[in-house]
Amino acid sequence: MNTILKTEKLRVEFKTRQLGKATTKVALNGLDLAVQAGEVFGFLGPNGAGKTTTMNVLLGFIQPTGGAAYLFGIDVRQPIARQRIGYLPELTYYYKFLNAEEILRFYAKIFKIPNAEAEKRIDFVLKLVELQHARKRLIKTYSKGMQQRVGLAQALINNPDLLILDEPTSGLDPVGRMKVRSIIQRLKNEGRTVFFSSHEMGEVETICDRIAIINNGELKAVGSVSEISSQHGANLEKAFLDIIGFQPEAVA
């Protein structure tokens, strides 16, 4: 199979200074991941496990301390590696002084999409995220759910082969969550590769072909939902808690 996203012994350290004392926090420790073309890959882990850090490395926002990461076989440090991807950050805010159409046109220009084609793509993605009626309204007048859908629209403007979504449904109401999920489902049906992080186990069970679970910057498990659940003789949520070493009695 064709590997679209790959990390090799990825390591990220953050150096901080507390009370004058230099400390090093290891955010990722030798992470090896491989996502194949056409699969929906869920990236799970508790808060602070290293999910967003992994995405930040993949998108070139931070430099790894060690190891390497590749998108479509190209080192992520090269901007061209991001030509065929779409990215939706966890908290989406867009230029408040622009409307949805202008934002999408701006991003289309960055992808060097010809004007006529860009207009068609803008129509298509706005229809997909059900924002056609509000295309001329300034973003600052949008609700949170609408802003998240603009985020999804901008992630799809270049018709990407790989979508990287960082907790795409967090903070949305049930209707908003359902709409975002149905869009991901549609992309899956179209054969696109989706790499996304989530805390919603039900969502992961429904959509994902394979999942990876990380904790404290280390990969703990990789496989299909059924494989991981059956290995731990429980449903995904219990398997997840088991893998990250959560002990309910400690809370009680």
How far apart, in Å, do the first and last CA atoms of the chain sit? 46
Q: Which stretch binds other proteins (CB under 8 A): 15-23, 57-65, 195-203, 236-244?
A: 57-65
- For residue 15, the minimal CB distance to other proteins (Å) is 11
Instruction: Mark residues 147-176: x for contact with other proteins by CB under 8 A, - for none.
Output: ----x--xx--------x------------
Contacts of 213 (CB under 8 A, 6+ apart): 44, 45, 219, 220, 221, 222, 228, 240, 243, 244
Q: Which stretch binds other proteins (CB under 8 A): 58-66, 127-135, 207-215, 222-230?
A: 58-66
Beta bridge partners of 26: 13
Strands (E), 174-234: 193-197, 210-215, 218-223
100 binds other proteins (CB under 8 A): no
215 touches 49 (CB < 8 A): yes
CA distance 87 to 160: 9
30 touches 51 (CB < 8 A): no
107 binds other proteins (CB under 8 A): yes
> Which CB atom, from 79 or from 233, has the smaller least distance to other proteins?
79
186 binds other proteins (CB under 8 A): no
110 binds other proteins (CB under 8 A): yes
111 binds other proteins (CB under 8 A): yes
Binding site for other proteins (CB under 8 A): 52-53, 56, 59-63, 79-83, 85, 87-89, 91-98, 102, 106-107, 109-112, 151, 154-155, 164
